[in-house]
Each structure stands twice: as C-alpha cells, then as structure tokens.
Amino acid sequence: MGKIKTFKLKILSEEGPLLNGECEVLFIPTTSKEEIAILPYHTPLISIIGKGKVKVRRNNKIETIVEIKSGILYVENNEASVLVNA
C-alpha cells in the first residue's frame, strides 16, 4: 500500500476558520515575494508568510482560498496550519 497523497490543512483568520480538510498541495507566498509548495510528508517547518494568495490543490484542481497581508505557517506530522491576516 502506498503513502497517503494528502495532508490535513487548517487555514484560520481573525474571523474564524477558512478551511479545515484534506489537501494535495498547499501554495504559500513567502516574504521574498516567491511561492513555496507544501506537499504530503513535508519536513517540519515554522515560517512567516508574506503578502499574496494562499492556494490549495484538492481533487486535482487549484483554488485560491484567501488573499493575505501576512501570516504564519506551521507544518508537522503530515498536518499544516496557516494563521492568516487577511
């Protein structure tokens, strides 16, 4: 049996949860105006995230969840949490 190809993702804003579910890929803006992709089984990571769009790929479709000013990303144990300032 192969590895699971998704991971648990929570995206939270000041107003409340924006997403709580499974994700294939998470695209996060960096403070250097680039974008990083978080995949299942990513190495543990804590990072400040920059201004831009938080996007996810689910069911082979990429969708924008929120446009943000800043935030924090936490990845561990095949789970990612994103706290955003939208």
- pLDDT of residue 1 exceeding 70, the answer is no
Residue 68: Cβ-neighbour burial (10 angstroms; 0-12, 13-18, 19+): buried
Alpha helices in 29-71 (DSSP H): none
Residue 56 neighbours by CB under 8 Å, 6+ apart = 9, 19, 23, 24, 25, 26, 27, 62, 63, 65
pLDDT score at 86: 81
- Contact 66/51 with Cβ under 8 angstroms? no
Give φ, ψ of 33 to 5 degrees: 65, 25
Q: Which range, of 29-33, 37-41, 42-46, 47-51, averages the lowest pLDDT?
A: 29-33
Q: Is 7-85 a domain of CATH 3.60.60.10?
A: no
Mean pLDDT computed over every residue of the chain: 93
pTM, rounded to two decimals: 0.90
